[in-house]
């Protein structure tokens, strides 16, 4: 059954899973990759796997787990080397394939292959004005990420005043790619007339947040010799900053972002920004985490209603579940352990 607000009908949107193009001219729900013809209706390939595994059908895809595993070329169903099983195949950076055995990894000639341990990092961007009340929640989030086993969590502060950050969060840059918008303008729909209203007082160039965040992350990757998984995690205002930063890194720096995590975001699933994120070959998984009873996703067209909710409930509002609630640490640990680590495979 179709979920309300989760439909997208666009004849110009060509992409499907794994960044591959849909091929409806062959059959409905078909996707073509280098080594497969994939039918999403039955979660099976039409051709035999060129690198079959001893424990599954040669017609299987994603190791029979399309939610967790990826298979960009049609030959490799491994999310990463760390969770590979015996018989799995992994494509190395130089394009060769290695096979997982009980004793380790081996190439096609049976020669043992040694991999150096990669160094991952997760870059975090917080809510409006970073931590204006000095509650210490940013540090608490980074600390809980480390406790959950997430390597090298790093705070990225590309924030301004609370007012400017809020306008950034609900303005045009929350709905369109940075390279399509220079002047951000606060817009909302009037409840009585149904017409879109603009507040020109918020008409300010906000691209500096994106370039500052992107340049800082690029510098940190180089300085810390990050050669493993690169993850961007944004909460509230930070989700918009990190979404635009992911595009900036992918387009301007040619840096691949493995996971983009958007918590309590105002970015709509059918926005031009979300389409750009999902279709960019340098951006891997885009994870959206909506907070129950939050309604922040409606902020850009119902700003007064959402703001009123914040005003009445204060730090008890559901939006602040992972920041200011008395049991926020418990919720964070559950999020980082069960969602980040187990579901998303964050290192």
Locate the domains of the chain by residue range: 14-115, 121-343
Q: What's the CA gap between 52 and 297, in Å, rounded?
A: 43
114-141 tens-digit pLDDT: 877 789 999 999 999 898 777 899 999 9
Class assignment of domain 121-343?
alpha beta
pLDDT value at 67 more than 70: no
The answer to whether the beta carbons of residues 346 and 231 sit under 8 Å apart is yes
196-230 tens-digit pLDDT: 655 543 444 558 899 999 999 999 999 999 988 99
Q: Is 198 helix (H, G, I), strand (E, B) or coil?
A: strand
- The whole-number average pLDDT for the span 264-288 is 92
| Residue 5 falls in which region: left (phi positive, over 0), alpha (psi -120 to 50) or beta | left
State the DSSP code for 30: E
Phi and psi angles of residue 173, each rounded to the nearest 5 degrees, phi first: -75, -5
pTM beyond 0.85:
no
| pLDDT for the residue numbered 229 | 94
The tokens of 324 are what? 């200011």
The answer to whether the beta carbons of residues 124 and 141 sit under 8 Å apart is yes
Q: Which residue has the higher pLDDT, 300 or 65?
A: 65
- The whole-number average pLDDT for the span 178-200 is 59
| pLDDT for the residue numbered 63 | 72
| pLDDT for the residue numbered 3 | 54
Q: What's the CA gap between 130 and 255, in Å, rounded?
A: 25
| pLDDT for the residue numbered 202 | 41
Mean pLDDT of the chain: 81
| pLDDT for the residue numbered 200 | 46
Q: Which residue has the higher pLDDT, 339 or 309?
A: 339
On the CB side of 212, CA atoms within 13 Å amount to 13
- The whole-number average pLDDT for the span 49-60 is 76
Tell me which H or E stretch contains 162: helix 162-170
Q: What's the CA gap between 133 and 287, in Å, rounded?
A: 28
- The whole-number average pLDDT for the span 70-82 is 62
* Range among 109-113, 251-255, 310-314 with highest mean pLDDT value: 251-255
The tokens of 131 are what? 């931590």
pLDDT value at 72 more than 70: no
Phi and psi angles of residue 265, each rounded to the nearest 5 degrees, phi first: -95, 155
Of the given ranges (119-133, 139-153, 232-246), which has the lowest mean pLDDT? 119-133
The answer to whether the beta carbons of residues 56 and 71 sit under 8 Å apart is no
Pairing of the two strands 183-189 and 153-155:
unpaired
Q: CB atoms < 10 A from the CB of 125, how many?
A: 27
How much helix, strand and coil, in percent to the nearest 5, is found in the chain? 30, 20, 50
pLDDT value at 285 more than 70: yes
pLDDT value at 280 more than 50: yes
User: How deeply is 331 buried, as exposed, middle or buried, from its count of CB atoms within 10 A (0-12, 13-18, 19+)?
Assistant: middle
Q: What's the CA gap between 345 and 232, in Å, rounded?
A: 13
Phi and psi angles of residue 144, each rounded to the nearest 5 degrees, phi first: -70, -30
Q: What's the CA gap between 46 and 39, in Å, rounded?
A: 7
């Amino acid at each position: 059954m179709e979920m309300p607000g989760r439909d997208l009908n666009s004849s110009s949107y060509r992409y499907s899973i794994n960044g591959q193009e849909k091929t409806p001219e062959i059959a409905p729900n078909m996707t073509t990759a280098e080594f497969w013809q994939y039918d999403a209706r039955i979660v099976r390939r039409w051709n035999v796997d060129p690198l079959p595994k001893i424990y599954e059908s040669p017609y299987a895809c994603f190791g029979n787990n399309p939610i967790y595993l990826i298979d960009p070329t049609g030959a490799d169903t491994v999310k990463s080397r760390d969770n590979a099983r015996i018989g799995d195949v992994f494509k190395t950076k130089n394009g060769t394939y290695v096979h997982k055995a009980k004793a380790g990894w081996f190439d096609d000639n049976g020669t043992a292959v040694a991999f150096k341990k990669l160094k991952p990092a997760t870059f975090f961007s917080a809510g409006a004005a970073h931590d204006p009340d000095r509650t210490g929640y940013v540090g608490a989030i980074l600390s809980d990420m480390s406790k959950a086993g997430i390597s090298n969590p790093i705070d990225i502060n590309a924030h301004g005043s609370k007012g400017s950050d809020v306008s950034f969060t609900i303005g045009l840059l929350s709905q369109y790619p940075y390279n399509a918008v220079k002047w951000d303008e606060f817009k909302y729909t009037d409840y009585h007339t149904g017409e879109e209203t603009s507040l020109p007082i918020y008409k300010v160039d906000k691209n500096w947040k994106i370039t500052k965040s992107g340049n800082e992350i690029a510098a940190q990757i180089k300085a810390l010799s990050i050669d493993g998984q690169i993850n961007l995690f944004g909460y509230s205002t930070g989700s918009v900053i990190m979404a635009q930063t992911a595009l900036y890194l992918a387009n301007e720096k040619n840096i691949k972002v493995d996971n983009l995590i958007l918590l309590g975001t105002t970015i709509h699933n059918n926005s031009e920004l979300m389409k750009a994120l999902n279709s960019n070959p340098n951006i891997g998984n885009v994870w959206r985490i909506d907070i129950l009873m939050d309604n922040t996703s409606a902020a850009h067209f119902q700003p007064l209603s959402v703001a009123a909710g914040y005003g009445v409930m204060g730090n008890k509002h559901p939006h602040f579940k992972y920041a200011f609630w008395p049991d926020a640490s418990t919720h964070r640990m559950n999020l980082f352990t069960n969602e980040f680590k187990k579901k998303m495979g964050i290192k």
